Amino acid sequence: MSASTQTGGATAATVPAAQAAGSTSRDDSSESKDAWYDRVFRLYIGKTDELSSMLAFLGSRTAENACPLFRAAHSVLSIGGGTGRTDLPLSVLLEHVKRWTVLEPNALHIQAFEAMAKNYVVRNFEMTTGDPKDQAPHDPAVTDGHRGVQSTLKVKATPRPHARLHFDFQCTAFDPWSPPAGTEYDVALLCHVLYYMPMEATIRRALSLARGVVLLHNTEVGITHIQRQFSRPENRANMYWSADLLRDMSRLGLAKVPHFGLPGHIDVRDLSRDMVSFFLEQQHVDDALFAQVKAAIEATAPSGYLDQETDVFFITREDLARADHARAHSAASGKHTGAH
């Protein structure tokens, strides 16, 4: 999962690349990149309500109506499943799933996922709705369609063993992994992974293996705004922003697939250098850079909660086939017109 997200608001001077290459908060040059990311990612997930917001939406009638295939799925391919913080509760929500294949190249993440899955208990989910004005300012909630009604996810304390589901863990990236011949999935889950992968090739391959894709990607609200100001130039050049994703979706003819924005917050009241390191996807953060980022975040989020937003897309094989057919027809019509 990436930290690519962002908000408007604060302004700050651009940080020179040389300054951005300072010392890490732990000053541990022996720490591997995977170990660093695992550590700062765990810090981040303890500071955000993103997961609650996402689960509340995916459990809502709006999501079920937008993608019936998702809620009825019997098999899931999770591409970049991480530590399981998303997949495990989602596996409870998708009550018909029997088979869940997890692809994750970070060995520390997949070890954590496996360990958590062994001891995971299912708690019954309860969805409640109410008017947004009746909710606390930072309750995890999501707008249900366009009616101004929000859904909040609650958990009943009735644990039971998670026995119905088989997890298949693969410590590998999506490419070059291949499933056994003839294997097909109902849904492929792409949760915050397209920051690092070619969008079109990934979606096309996912839809060759699954009947539908659920895609989650950060918008320009929150962390991305910070990254745009303070990340190293070489990092910024490789970042795949939500504007890039929307442009590519339109280019592929997928601009009209079901698409929803989920609000969330990050607790930055006690902002640490490790959190800034995660925001910038940068292992080393020196004192000057940390001070500048901290000042910008405080100006952007005076309440101590940084807004963030996640886009959710539902894409089916039929959506892609229709888009490809339309583009082929348009190209053929253009050639025919040109011939005259």
Q: What confidence score (pLDDT) does residue 163 get?
A: 59
Does residue 26 form part of some domain?
no
Q: What is the CATH number of the domain that holds 294?
A: 3.40.50.150
pLDDT digits (tens, 9 = 90+) for 196-253: 889 999 999 999 999 999 999 988 888 888 888 898 887 777 788 788 899 999 999 9
Q: What confidence score (pLDDT) does residue 236 get?
A: 76
Q: What confidence score (pLDDT) does residue 135 get?
A: 37
Per cent of the chain over pLDDT 90 is: 44
Does residue 11 form part of some domain?
no
**Calpha distance 319→329 (Å, rounded):** 15
Does residue 17 form part of some domain?
no
For residues 163 and 35, which has the higher predicted lDDT (pLDDT)? 35
Does residue 48 form part of some domain?
yes
Count of structural domains, the chain: 1
Range with the poorest average pLDDT among 5-19, 92-106, 209-223: 5-19
Q: What confidence score (pLDDT) does residue 286 get?
A: 95
Does residue 302 form part of some domain?
yes
Does residue 13 form part of some domain?
no
**Calpha distance 242→28 (Å, rounded):** 33
Q: What confidence score (pLDDT) does residue 210 get?
A: 97
- Give residue 86's domain range: 33-339
What's the distance, Cα to Cα, between the start and end of the chain in Å? 51
User: How high does pLDDT run on average in the chain?
Assistant: 79
Does residue 15 form part of some domain?
no
User: Checking DSSP bridges between strand 99-103 and strand 210-218, what pairing results, if any?
Assistant: unpaired
pLDDT digits (tens, 9 = 90+) for 301-336: 999 999 988 999 999 999 999 999 998 888 777 665
pTM: 0.77
Does residue 6 form part of some domain?
no
Q: What confidence score (pLDDT) does residue 28 get?
A: 53
